[in-house]
Amino acid sequence: QVQLVESGGGLVQPGGSLRLSCAASGFSFALYYMSWFRQAPGHEPEPVAHIDGPSDSKRYYARMEFRFLISRDNAKNTVYLQMDNLNVGDSAVYYCAAHPPHASLEDLSWSTAEYRGQGTQVTVSS
């Protein structure tokens, strides 16, 4: 049974940091692209970052690489998202997702993900 379980969300003040984790099981984690998406109320899910399985190459969206860092530990079947200098606009439900090894790097979208987690809420507020 495939599972993606996110954790680490919560309430944080502007300028603060959070580290999200996503524990995976039931598939060949080390071979899969792993991604973080986020969805704010009234909006579609948007990509935050992707990380390749074998090569560990990363892609970020909307200049998030200046504040966010995606990483993975294939020995622990876990992908992380370190988020620093958070602002109110970062408030959303954050999801992890998995795309198979044969997926196109140009098509790592929410709709094409093979597996998705249930999400963890991140709220940035003073």
Give the tens place of pLDDT for each residue, 44-89. Answer: 999 999 999 888 889 999 888 899 999 999 999 999 999 999 999 9
**Contact yes or no for 25/85 (Cβ under 8 A):** no
Mean pLDDT for all residues in the chain: 95
**CA–CA separation, 16 and 30 (whole Å):** 31
Burial 3-25 (b: 16+ CB within 10 A, else e): ebebebbeebeeeeebebbbbbe
User: What's the pLDDT at 3?
Assistant: 97
